[in-house]
């Protein structure tokens, strides 16, 4: 039997009002907190920030609110946030928002452990990803997700934008959040587009980790729980008729899929989605999930993928693929040419670690075919 590990660190506190209900936990971590978040769109209330402020006020914990988190946070912006947190004397962090806020807080916490060290050295200096089991930052991070998709609240990863290489890359040391507060109120008011893209990202995490050659019984079992939750809300998600329980189940599914994929990582669709995000600015969840249906359809041995589509509540792979296409038809705006697909296929075929992660071998023609069939509605001359 091959060796494998399963590692998790983050407590999960769930339900409407969970921040106040479990707010005394903050008292164990100090009297000064830095809240990291981003500016919400005009007309959108940051309900989570209101609840966190109230919980800290009630307990006499001082805090600063830094609302300058940038999407796909650059190393330089994280370093700037870190200086402000040091000046304030933060003892712990509360990250409110999507993956960018949570990843920024993880990165700031890591920088504060290594004062005087150049940020790129702190994030990437070891030259290889860490295989540590424990969080590698000192100051605790609490996550309050306002999207349900990335799983950043439970994984040890923090994806940053490197200006030196013009790429996005997870920092090598792992930083796990102390706890995540999952309150359905924080996603209930989200536009359908955000709910769809989050759910698609979480689904892709589950599907990909389930199929990954490095997966194990624990990953796959967790992903199966996430698939069953997805089966419960998928129709309401498509029809935009989500109910109270659905919102919490979406948050729990994102958390569970995060637990599932953080060991064996993602595989083909996430790799194929990179150029859509990078060159076409397509939202991450849609950019990856648009390939899910055709990726599963490409399997010669359908017994590998049937447990997934069945657990997700579909009768067969074709129904699963049609559902993905229907979500994309609502949300994905894109134009691509065949020449771009040729280039992206060529680039993808250089990613040996991606190709090795798929249980069936994939040729350049296979990858090009998945690109072509998935993006057929978006092709232009």
Question: Measured at CB, which residue is nearest to Fe ion?
Answer: 201
Own/partner contacts of 16-19, CB < 8 Å, gap of 24 or more, are 16/183, 16/184, 16/185, 16/248, 17/183, 18/181, 18/182, 18/183, 19/48, 19/51, 19/52, 19/55, 19/144, 19/181, 19/183
Q: In the complex with Fe ion, which residue's Cβ is closer, 82 or 270?
A: 270
Q: Are 260 and 214 in contact, with CB atoms under 8 Å apart?
A: no
Taking the complex as a whole, the smallest distance from the CB of residue 129 to Fe ion amounts, in Å, to: 17
Residue span 289-328 as binding mask against Fe ion, x where in contact by CB under 5 A, dash where not: ----------------------------------------
Task: Dump strand ranges (E) for 31-177.
Answer: 32-36, 62-66, 92-97, 141-145, 159-162, 167-170
Q: In the complex with Fe ion, which residue's Cβ is closer, 279 or 302?
A: 279
Query: What is the total residue count of the chain?
Result: 381
Burial label for 381, CB within 10 Å (0-12, 13-18, 19+), is exposed
Sole window of 117-125, 128-136, 200-208, 243-251 interacting with Fe ion (rule: CB under 5 A):
200-208
Sole window of 46-54, 103-111, 197-205, 289-297 interacting with Fe ion (rule: CB under 5 A):
197-205
Short-list 371, 234, 354, 222, CA closest to 295: 371
* Residue from 51, 103, 201, 224 binding Fe ion (CB under 5 A): 201
Short-list 226, 279, 285, CA closest to 257: 226
Q: In the complex with Fe ion, which residue's Cβ is closer, 136 or 201?
A: 201
Q: In the complex with Fe ion, which residue's Cβ is closer, 34 or 171?
A: 171
Q: In the complex with Fe ion, which residue's Cβ is closer, 48 or 204?
A: 204
Taking the complex as a whole, the smallest distance from the CB of residue 258 to Fe ion amounts, in Å, to: 9
What's the rounded Cα separation, in Å, for the pair 37 and 56? 16
Taking the complex as a whole, the smallest distance from the CB of residue 317 to Fe ion amounts, in Å, to: 22
Query: What is the total count of residues that contact Fe ion (CB under 5 A)?
Result: 1
- What does the block give as tokens for 93? 């962090």
Sole window of 1-9, 26-34, 184-192, 194-202 interacting with Fe ion (rule: CB under 5 A):
194-202
Taking the complex as a whole, the smallest distance from the CB of residue 284 to Fe ion amounts, in Å, to: 6
Interface contacts to Fe ion, rule CB under 5 A: 201
């Amino acid at each position: 039997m091959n060796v494998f590990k399963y590692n998790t660190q983050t407590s999960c506190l769930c339900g409407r009002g969970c921040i106040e209900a479990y707010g005394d936990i903050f008292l164990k971590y100090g009297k000064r907190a830095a809240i990291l978040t981003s500016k919400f769109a005009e007309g959108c209330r940051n309900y989570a920030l209101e609840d966190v402020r109230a919980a800290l006020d009630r307990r006499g914990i001082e805090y600063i609110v830094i609302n300058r988190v940038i999407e796909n946070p650059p190393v330089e912006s994280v370093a700037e946030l870190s200086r402000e947190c040091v000046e304030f004397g933060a003892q712990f962090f509360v990250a409110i928002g999507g993956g960018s806020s949570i990843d920024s807080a993880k990165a700031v916490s890591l920088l504060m452990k290594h004062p005087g060290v150049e940020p790129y050295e702190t994030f990437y200096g070891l030259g290889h990803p860490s295989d540590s089991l424990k969080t590698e930052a000192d100051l605790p991070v609490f996550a309050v997700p306002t999207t349900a998709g990335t799983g950043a609240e439970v994984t040890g990863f923090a994806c940053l934008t490197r200006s030196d290489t013009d790429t996005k890359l997870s920092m090598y040391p792992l930083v796990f959040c102390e706890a995540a507060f999952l309150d359905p109120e924080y996603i209930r008011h989200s536009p359908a587009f955000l709910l769809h893209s989050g759910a698609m990202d979480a689904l892709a995490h589950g599907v990909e980790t389930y199929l990954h050659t490095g997966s194990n019984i624990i990953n796959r079992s967790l992903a199966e729980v996430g698939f069953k939750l997805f089966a419960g809300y998928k129709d309401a998600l498509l029809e935009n008729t989500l109910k109270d329980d659905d919102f919490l189940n979406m948050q729990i599914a994102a958390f569970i899929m995060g637990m599932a994929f953080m060991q064996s990582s993602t595989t083909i669709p996430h790799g194929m989605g990179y150029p859509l995000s990078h060159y076409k600015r397509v939202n991450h969840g849609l950019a990856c999930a648009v390939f899910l249906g055709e990726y599963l359809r490409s399997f010669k041995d359908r017994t590998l993928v049937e447990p997934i589509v069945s657990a997700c509540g579909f009768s067969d792979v074709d129904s699963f693929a049609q559902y993905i296409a229907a979500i994309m038809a609502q949300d994905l705006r894109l134009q691509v040419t065949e020449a771009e697909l040729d280039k992206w296929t060529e680039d993808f075929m250089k990613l040996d670690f991606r190709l090795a992660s798929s249980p069936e071998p994939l040729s350049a023609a296979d990858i090009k075919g998945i690109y072509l069939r998935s993006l057929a509605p978006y092709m232009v001359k």
